[in-house]
Chains A and B, each alone.
Chain A
Amino acid sequence: MADTTISATFDVYRFDPAVDRSARYQRYTLDLAPHTPVLTALLRIRAEVDPTLSLRYSCRSAICGSCAMQVNSKSRLACETQIGPEIARHGRIVVEPMHNQPVLRDLVVDQTPFWREYERVEPHLKLDPARPMPADRPTSMTPEQVERFKETPRCIACAACYSSCPAVEADPEFPGPMALAKLYRYVVDPRDTATRERLVGIQAGGLWLCLRCHLCTDACPKDVRPSERIRDLKELAIAAQGATEPGSRHAVGFKESIRGAGLLNEMQLVRRTYGPLGLFGQLGQGLRIWRKKPEVVRRPHRIEKVEEIEKIYAALDTGSEAPK
């Protein structure tokens, strides 16, 4: 904890719907210790320079999830982002509201869509009346069963993942990383009795719209690793129901194609993904590819020593885990 200060320049996104037609950036410069959190700096601006700056904040210790925002273009909790490294790397600190949620004012966004997706995965225990909880005592759960939640109970619903997600931006059908991590938390809960129903629902409910870019995992301040939980959900969904959607059929087809030949058979993959009839729908695309890169559409040869591939699969394939 150094006590020397640095001069820190903040360019803060300002927008008041009553007076501003479009957003503007306001510059504030403060002398601060390098370990000062961005939130502390913003609150000092509010207290000492400009009380009209609006933002959400509460606990200042990364547990309430209020102060997620874009800090130098990354979704971060302002309370646990120190200014020193930001200044060292970017020379200044650009503070903007989260993405994928409409701006209400300054750094405050409308979180209605985020909460709606959270509600949509039915985040509560579903119980089978035929399998009641034990009366007057807690359910028995081993530490190993608790391990299966992985880090999902740490989620503070800050929406940093939602803000960073390009699939959320592109596709209104995608529930977003937080909602899917929450769904995973209920899928692996040994008390919940709707595991299969939940997995069947999400396989057709946007699970495969994830772009696997892992930006959510990068943004998550609590190490929930939403993209890994989405991957877990995909495996569990296929294990529970088989591959029923283009997305899941594509994944399974990819795996089988590589397994058999050591190379990707694009024609086979298209057929597996969209079905024999669906193949016609992809005909135009196929022709265009054939004209430019005919080798892609040709049947690939088997690589030598394809049995080595099998060894890799055997090493990786521990068998899809049973849901509970």
Chain B
Amino acid sequence: MIRHEVVVVGAGLAGQRAALAAVEAGRDVAVVSKLHPLRSHSGAAQGGINAAVGAEDSVDTHIYDTVKGSDYLGDQDAIEFFCREAGPTVVEMEHFGTIFSRAPDGSLARRAFGGAGFPRTIYAADRTGLALLQGLWERLGTEEFTLYSEWDLTDLLVRDGSVQGLVAFDRRRGEFEMIGARSVVLATGPAGRIYGHTTNAHSCTGDGLAVAYDAGAYLKDMEFVQFHPTALLESSILITEGARGEGGYLRNSAGERFMSRYAPHVLELASRDVVSRAIVTEVLAGRGFHGPYGDYVHLELMHLGKEKVESRLQEICDYSRHFAGIDPVTEPIPVYPAQHYMMGGIGTNIRGETNLPGLYAAGEAACVSIHGANRLGGNSLLETLVFGKQAGVAAAEHAERATASALDPADLDRSVAPIRAWSSRSDGEDPSTLRTEMQRTMDRYVGIYRSEADLLEGLRQIRALRARFERVRVVDRSRVFNLNLTDAVETGHMLELAETIVVGAYARTESRGAHSRTDYPKRDDARWMRHTLAKKAADGPQLSYSPVAYTRWEPKERVY
């Protein structure tokens, strides 16, 4: 039986940073990941990482921008801590080896980003996530720890309310294993693949959120789903906000820079929720372009000049050319909003602690909450590192004092029996079909604009899919890299999470940040300035609410 003191699940930036912190604290650490760490979705982050480091900028402005961007749902104590850690975090990553883009004087180059009062987004061309992921992985590689690469998380082991380890499936050997742990850190990223139109990688299926929810952890603010304004048409591949930060324009089919109607002061650099709604509104008003792959607007970079576009937005040029046959130097890029980020996640405090002893979460899998109802661009990479480290430190401290309880082999059988049943059925539901239908439901009924009628229909469909999932069937009989089995595990996880999103969105009768109800178009601070907490119950998610932490910033109307 495998046993470690601290087991981190997920090897993107948050997981790696947690692992590094726990190793530095002297603990025996294992990292379990469904992908090789260098293939993590953190590497797909493009635009940059926020830190108020220049003399002209200030940490207070970063805090204010984040609070305002969150539509006053972010916890201000957590945001203050987060923004203060930004400078040291970026310096640390630079010292670890990350190659950032530079200003002529040798300092870190910075670019403008949406919703920010100052150009404070530090970047590495348009592949900042990749640069950080390489820098951190190569730093972590100098430490001693155990890597379980290409293992799928299927369950948490809980005894007397505290987490004792997990169950995971080694794709290569086709074996389920129990991994005992005094502390488990979930850094498994988002569940963006609940939606069909998403910028997220195929691996983003919310495995950590689902097993935590099953084990009794709270999922917080799940209804807050960010739609990135500029995803490439058809493939939904991300076109970084940095494209607008470098001066890109959005235009409708009448040739207008339509953002002047929605954000007269900052135009394209308004917060993401604002820009995404603006694009949808333009299209609904008949001012979009139409094509075989749907409606869209234009993102124009042509006026920036070939040299700037090709040097600062090198990957964007490649994506546009390879995936849309468009050269952004000479042509507009067809874009439309797509699911991009989950503000919600496993509820934690700033130490990454959940409501279950021994269980920690960080990164996009977690909800601290610093993003509230809408995340600012450039804050997610920072979040992975700041709170990955906090969770790693806290998990290591807990592991030092906690006693390890013996694992019971019968627990493995109990945990795995339902999954084994999927393979012994002679007839049943195909996991890919269920997944595709779930994605259509979420795209159609739980998108940027929501209403009671749509959410009820969405909930009905998701519950019907969950019922059908009870009869899911795995037809692949091979033990080695059985992706049919992985598909089924992931689809089960996502259906469970989809229900928490719809239930949370239905209950929240207001519009705040990324949650826009056409039947409740106003923010309602008196009733809804609070976090949604979803806990698993027999008949679906049971909702409760918790207050938002305040320090210095009174809620105001958001104008960009």
Contacts and interface: CB of A to CB of B under 8 A. Distances in A.
Interface of A: 1, 3, 16-19, 35, 37, 43, 46-48, 51-55, 57-66, 80, 82, 104-106, 108, 111, 115, 119, 123-125, 133, 136-143, 145-146, 149, 153-154, 156-157, 189, 191
Max chain A Cβ within 10 angstroms of own Cβ: one of B103, B432, B481: B481
A146 B432 contact: no
Nearest to A141: B102
Contact of A156 (B130, B201, B291, B476): B130
Given A62-B318, A153-B99, A18 B484 contact: no
Interface string B431-444: 11100100000000
Given A138-B91, A138-B100, A104 B481 contact: yes
A153 B138 CA distance: 13
B457 interface: no
Contacts of B293: 1, 3
A111 B95 contact: no
A62 B90 contact: no
A58 B490 CA distance: 13
A60 B237 contact: yes
Interface in B64-101: 88, 90-91, 94-97, 99-101
Contacts of A35: 325
B202 A63 contact: no
If over half of A's interface residues share one DSSP class (helix, strand or loop), that class is named, otherwise mixed; here it is: loop
B487 interface: yes
29 contacts: A1-B233, A16-B480, A17-B480, A18-B479, A43-B202, A47-B433, A51-B432, A54-B482, A60-B202, A61-B44, A61-B237, A63-B44, A64-B40, A64-B43, A64-B201, A104-B481, A105-B478, A106-B481, A108-B480, A123-B141, A124-B138, A125-B139, A138-B90, A138-B100, A138-B108, A139-B95, A140-B105, A153-B131, A157-B39
A157 B102 CA distance: 24
Nearest to B172: A104
B451 to A, nearest CB: 31
Given A61-B44, A153-B127, A136 B91 contact: yes
Contacts of B39: 58-59, 64-66, 157
B322 to A, nearest CB: 4
Interface of B: 35-36, 38-41, 43-44, 88, 90-91, 94-97, 99-108, 124, 127, 130-131, 134, 138-139, 141-142, 172, 201-203, 233-235, 237-238, 291-293, 314-315, 318-319, 322-325, 430-433, 436, 475-476, 478-484, 487
B480 A157 contact: no
Contacts of B201: 58-60, 64
A146 B102 contact: yes
Given A19-B478, A105-B478, 10 more contacts: A1-B325, A43-B202, A52-B478, A58-B39, A60-B237, A62-B322, A104-B172, A108-B481, A138-B90, A153-B134
Contacts of A57: 202
A2 to B, nearest CB: 8
Contacts of A3: 292-293
B94 A138 contact: yes
A132 B293 CA distance: 54
Contacts of A48: 432
Closest 9 CB pairs of A and B: A140-B106, A3-B292, A47-B432, A138-B94, A59-B201, A54-B481, A52-B476, A51-B484, A64-B39
